[in-house]
Structure 1
Amino acid sequence: MFARRTAARVITQPSLLAAPSNARNMATLREIELRLKSVRNIEKITKSMKMIASTKLAKAQRAMQSGKLYGEANAEVFETAKEGVTGSRKLFLVLSSDKGLCGGIHSSVTKATRRAFNNAPDSPIPGVSVESDTSVMVIGDKSKAQLSRIYPDNLKLTFNQIGRDVPTFADAAGVADLVVKSGVEYDSVVIIYNKFVSAISYEAAAVEVKGEKALKESEGFKKYEMEDDFTKDLAEFSLANALYATLTESHACEISARRNAMDNASKNAGDMIGSLTMQYNRGRQAAITNELVDIITGASAL
Structure 2
Amino acid sequence: MRSVNSIGKITKAMKMVAAAKLKGVQRVQEKARPFGVGMDTFFSGMNALEVPPASDGAEKPKELLVAVNSDRGLCGGVNGNVVKMVMKQIDAKGQHEGLKILLVGDKGRDALTRRAGNHIITSFKDVFRAPITFDQASVIAEEIMKDEYNRITIVYNKFRSVISQEVTAGVVPGLEFMTSHAEVFDKYEFEAEVNSEEVLVDLFELKLASQLYAACLENGTSEQAARMSAMDNASRNARDMLGKLTLNYNRQRQANITQELGEIVAGSEALK
TM-score (structure 2 length as normaliser): 0.86
1:132 maps onto 2:130 in alignment: no
Residue of 216, 226, 234 corresponding to 1:257: 226
Q: What CA deviation, in whole Å up to 9, does each residue of 1:255-282 have, x standing for no partner?
A: 1111101111110001001000001101
Kindly state the Cα deviation for residue 71 of structure 1 after the two structures are TM-superposed: 4.0
* Equivalent position amino acid for 2:71 in 1: D
Q: Structure 1 158/283 Cα, relative in aligned 2: closer, same or farther at 3 Å? A: same
Q: Contact conserved, 1:85 with 1:217, CA < 8 A, in 2?
A: no
Q: Partner of 1:112 in structure 2?
A: 85
Q: Partner of 1:280 in structure 2?
A: 249
1:103 maps onto 2:93 in alignment: no
1:194 maps onto 2:157 in alignment: yes
Kindly state the Cα deviation for residue 85 of structure 1 after the two structures are TM-superposed: 7.2
Kindly state the Cα deviation for residue 83 of structure 1 after the two structures are TM-superposed: 5.0
What does 1:21-170 correspond to in 2, within 5 Å?
36-81=1-46, 88=54, 89-119=62-92, 129=93, 132-133=96-97, 134-170=99-135
- CA RMSD between the two structures: 2.2
Measured in 2, the distance between the counterparts of 1:237 and 1:130 equals 30
What does 1:165-180 correspond to in 2, within 5 Å?
165-180=130-145
* Equivalent position amino acid for 2:67 in 1: V
Q: Contact conserved, 2:153 with 2:172, CA < 8 A, in 1?
A: yes
Q: Contact conserved, 1:117 with 1:132, CA < 8 A, in 2?
A: no
* Equivalent position amino acid for 1:151 in 2: A
Q: Contact conserved, 1:84 with 1:215, CA < 8 A, in 2?
A: no
Q: Partner of 2:57 in structure 1?
A: none
Q: Structure 1 149/69 Cα, relative in aligned 2: closer, same or farther at 3 Å? A: farther
1:266 maps onto 2:239 in alignment: no
Range that drifts further, 232-241 or 221-230: 221-230
Q: Partner of 2:172 in structure 1?
A: 209
TM-score (structure 1 length as normaliser): 0.78
Kindly state the Cα deviation for residue 84 of structure 1 after the two structures are TM-superposed: 8.5
Structure with larger Rg: 1
Measured in 2, the distance between the counterparts of 1:160 and 1:179 equals 16
Q: Contact conserved, 1:84 with 1:214, CA < 8 A, in 2?
A: no
What's the secondary structure of 1:51's corresponding residue? helix
Kindly state the Cα deviation for residue 65 of structure 1 after the two structures are TM-superposed: 3.3
Q: What CA deviation, in whole Å up to 9, does each residue of 1:8-52 have, x standing for no partner?
A: xxxxxxxxxxxxxxxxxxxxxxxxxxxx01111111111111111
Q: Contact conserved, 1:140 with 1:159, CA < 8 A, in 2?
A: yes
Measured in 2, the distance between the counterparts of 1:58 and 1:222 equals 37
Q: Structure 1 84/178 Cα, relative in aligned 2: closer, same or farther at 3 Å? A: same
Measured in 1, the distance between the counterparts of 2:218 and 2:109 equals 19
What's the secondary structure of 1:153's corresponding residue? helix
